[in-house]
Amino acid sequence: MNSKVMLLRPKRFGDDRGWFTEVYNEKTFDGYGIGDRFVQDNHSLSVPAGTLRGLHFQTPPFAQAKLVRCIRGRIFDVAVDIRRNSPTFGRWVGATLSAENGNQLYVPVGFAHGFVTLEPSSEVTYKVSNLYSAQNDGGILWNDTEIGVEWPLPDGVPPLLSPKDERQPLLRDFDSPFDYDGDPLELVEM
């Protein structure tokens, strides 16, 4: 499986009626090196701007790759390398996804994922490569200073968090079950 975080920019074909885009095509994705079989689609609505969800992952044997897109509003989407022995362990990449730009972020297994909403009533849909498992649900604290995600929040305005996300562990307290596979973290744009 691919272990590169990818920013995908599906082509839109438009006219005076609007536009059409193909957001997933197995053959096209195989050409990108993304051979995951997606088994579940998730959809979230975050009403207030500044809602932060993450940094989440699932551990083996229920680890998940994700294909994320914003279908209403705008988000800042993040992937953090949590693969042990990776030269980029604890580093992050991020991209703005919006209904307007149509971009998608592919987050492979071995990366924590999170996003913050930049507009009210933002909706996010994402495909995952494994079913949800409460026993394998994990996370890292969103503002861990060792990671240093630069969340685009207004100065002095805290994000809106779930109780679970307020108490996630620090990266240094996480014993990662994910192995490094030779691909250091970089954001590949397709």
Catalytic machinery residues: 56, 126
The Cα 98–Cα 152 span in angstroms is 15
DSSP 160: B
Number of residues in the chain: 190
Distances 60 to 109, 118, 131 between C-alpha atoms, Å: 9, 32, 11
Cα-based angle 104, 120, 57 (whole degrees, multiple of 5): 45
DSSP 118: S
For residue 3, how many other CB atoms are within 10 A of its CB? 21
Cα-based angle 131, 134, 139 (whole degrees, multiple of 5): 100
Q: Which two tokens stand for residue 48?
A: 């207030």
